[in-house]
């Protein structure tokens, strides 16, 4: 439980203070600060951290100091990281309560929301299959801040977004025999019912009728049937519609162009884009944002069998563009090109964002913290950048010059699904974007940031839920005009 209170007289458990570098100068009179400064154990610098226990009035007290850096440079992300550290410390010390004493610097909705996100996200670990779970004692967190009740909505928003992101993490971490295409469809229905958006699910026969042959080719090797999931939320009847498309490969073996074992080891997470789209829809609808959003997921399993599609097959995608299959492991773009064509021609959206764990090249280019993007509309991209600053989910724009299209030309078909080693993230993005025409479009490749190698800050090893909050915030920025 996370509570807001104006003051706390008798704090139990850990008392946490969020501090800036400048606090040294101002709090010189405090003996504790001077002492810590002299001992050089706590600096107030970003990520600096100090905890100590002592006896006062016959009671054991523990304080936790969390550095945020320079006051003027405060970011939401620094707050998320700092409060997450305090929760980890509380569990480590087997404390049940944690109280943050927040001064007026933090009296802004955006800071409180970020604190709510960080506190919520820090409590998650994918441990449901573990018999011996790591013990979590912390069950009551208090934010002591002046005018506490006025921050209730901001705190609730942060907690809710944290919970939706956790939902995305859980979906992404679950094995590929649990989170199947149909499982994703049921999750969409469940979220839709709770939050207030409609869900329509198309089965294989219906997908055939829709001529989504590139999507169907990817699905052909699996005993799990593909589904097309369509979600619609109306928050502004006369307004424009944002279209979201998420890659939903529930397990990526690579198909007949089989992945080596070590590359396959996290491929249950190849539906991370779908997870972020599903949960962003939940958040957008639940928060009743005044915007229309339509979301599409072409969910399937890229498996190996006698029915699998083959290298050198030539597919006719829904758009009519023919595709030479150079590599069955470049499957995401095949599902996405049909999903994007569908959302554009059937749903007539005004903007498109696709989000996908699409290329290993994305990780090579930017590492695991930043998602590369490709776009055809700088004004639209500016909104994403703004959203990204708020949520801490970082993106970086790659060039999308026309000459890269040369790389995905084929002598046998209109497009090839693999442009080779050069500019792999750009060519994958441009492949998906080949059907968007003039519609403002952003492609986000989350192969890197969708997965964390180890526990750090508010992340735990495994899926990060990258994209849930980013897409929500983008919709929020767009609905603010």
Q: Are the CB atoms for 265 and 316 separated by under 8 Å?
A: no
Q: Is 338 in the site for Zn ion (CB under 5 A)?
A: no
259 has catalytic annotation: yes
Out of 37, 110, 189, 259, the active site residue is 259
Cβ neighbors of 85 (< 8 A, separation 6 or more) are: 49, 66, 457
* CA neighbor of 254 nearest in space, from 290, 301, 314: 301
Count other C-beta atoms under 10 Å from residue 287's C-beta.
Answer: 19
Query: What span, in angstroms and rounded, lies between the C-alpha atoms of 258 and 303?
Result: 9
Residue 329 or 393 with smaller CB distance to Mn ion? 329
Q: Are the CB atoms for 387 and 466 separated by under 8 Å?
A: no
Query: What span, in angstroms and rounded, lies between the C-alpha atoms of 369 and 85?
Result: 19
Q: Is 270 in the site for Zn ion (CB under 5 A)?
A: yes
Residue entry with tokens 């773009």: 333
Sheet bearing 59-67, strands edge to edge? 2-5, 140-144, 97-101, 14-19, 59-67, 49-56
Residue 69 or 248 with smaller CB distance to ligand BES? 248
Q: What Å distances lie between residue 235 and 129, 194, 257, 468, 479, CA to CA? A: 38, 16, 44, 18, 9
Q: Is 329 in the site for Mn ion (CB under 5 A)?
A: yes
Out of 80, 333, 383, 469, the active site residue is 333
Name the residue whose CB lies closest to ligand BES: 360
Beta bridge partners of 67: 19
Residue 222 or 292 with smaller CB distance to ligand BES? 222
Shortest reach from residue 438's CB to ligand BES, in Å: 27
Instruction: Mark 215-254 with x for binding to Mn ion (rule: CB under 5 A) and - for no binding.
Output: -------------------------------------x--
Instruction: Mark 249-268 with x for binding to Zn ion (rule: CB under 5 A) and - for no binding.
Output: x--x----------------
Shortest reach from residue 250's CB to ligand BES, in Å: 11
Residue 117 or 270 with smaller CB distance to ligand BES? 270
Query: What span, in angstroms and rounded, lies between the C-alpha atoms of 325 and 217?
Result: 10
Shortest reach from residue 358's CB to Mn ion, in Å: 8
Token pair, residue 54, equals 């002592």
333 has catalytic annotation: yes
The site for ligand BES (CB under 6 A) is made up of 252, 270, 327, 329-332, 357-361, 418, 447
DSSP 8-state assignment for residue 350 = S
Q: Is 332 in the site for Zn ion (CB under 5 A)?
A: yes
Shortest reach from residue 77's CB to ligand BES, in Å: 23
Interface positions with Zn ion (CB under 5 A): 249, 252, 270, 332
What residues act catalytically? 259, 333
């Amino acid at each position: 439980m996370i509570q807001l209170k104006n003051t706390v007289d008798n704090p139990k458990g850990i008392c946490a203070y969020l501090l800036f570098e400048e606090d040294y100068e101002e709090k010189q009179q405090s003996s504790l600060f001077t002492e810590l400064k002299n001992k050089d154990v706590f600096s107030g610098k970003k990520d600096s951290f100090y905890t100590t226990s002592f006896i006062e009035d016959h009671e054991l007290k523990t304080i936790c100091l969390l550095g945020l850096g320079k006051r003027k440079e405060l970011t939401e992300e620094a707050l998320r990281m700092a409060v997450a550290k305090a929760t980890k410390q509380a569990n480590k010390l087997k404390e049940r309560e944690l109280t943050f004493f927040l001064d007026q610097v933090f009296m802004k909705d955006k800071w409180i929301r970020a604190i709510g996100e960080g506190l919520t996200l820090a409590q998650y670990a994918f441990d449901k299959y573990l018999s011996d779970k790591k013990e979590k004692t912390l069950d009551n967190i208090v934010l002591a801040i002046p005018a506490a009740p006025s921050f209730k909505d901001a705190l609730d928003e942060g907690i809710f977004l944290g919970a939706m992101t956790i939902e995305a993490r859980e979906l992404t971490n679950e094995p590929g025999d649990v989170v199947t295409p149909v499982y994703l469809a049921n999750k969409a229905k469940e979220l839709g019912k709770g939050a207030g958006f409609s869900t329509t699910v198309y089965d294989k026969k219906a997908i055939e009728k829709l001529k989504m042959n590139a999507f169907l080719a990817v699905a052909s090797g699996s005993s799990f049937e593909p589904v097309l999931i369509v979600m619609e939320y109306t928050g502004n009847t006369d307004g424009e519609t944002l279209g979201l498309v998420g890659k939903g490969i529930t397990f990526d073996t690579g198909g007949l162009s089989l992945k080596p074992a070590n590359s396959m080891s996290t491929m249950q997470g190849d539906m991370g884009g779908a997870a972020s789209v599903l949960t962003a829809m939940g958040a957008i609808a639940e928060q009743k944002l005044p915007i229309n959003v339509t979301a599409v997921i072409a969910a399937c399993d890229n498996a190996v069998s006698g029915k699998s599609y083959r290298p050198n097959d030539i597919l006719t995608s829904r758009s009519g563009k023919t595709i030479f299959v150079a590599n069955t492991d470049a499957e995401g773009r095949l599902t996405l090109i049909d999903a994007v064509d569908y959302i554009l021609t059937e749903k007539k959206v005004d903007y498109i964002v696709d989000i996908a764990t699409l290329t290993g090249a994305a990780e090579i280019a930017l590492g695991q913290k930043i998602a590369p993007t490709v776009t055809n509309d700088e004004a639209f991209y500016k909104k994403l950048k703004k959203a990204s600053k708020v949520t801490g989910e970082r993106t970086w724009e790659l060039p999308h010059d026309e000459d890269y299209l040369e790389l995905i030309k084929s002598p046998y078909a209109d497009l090839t699904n693999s442009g080779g080693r050069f500019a792999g993230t750009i060519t994958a993005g441009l492949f998906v974007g080949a059907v968007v025409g003039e519609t403002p479009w952003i492609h986000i490749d989350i192969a890197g940031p969708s997965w964390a190698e180890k526990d750090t800050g508010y992340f735990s090893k495994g899926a990060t839920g990258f994209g849930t909050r980013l897409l929500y915030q983008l919709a929020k920025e767009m609905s603010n005009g």
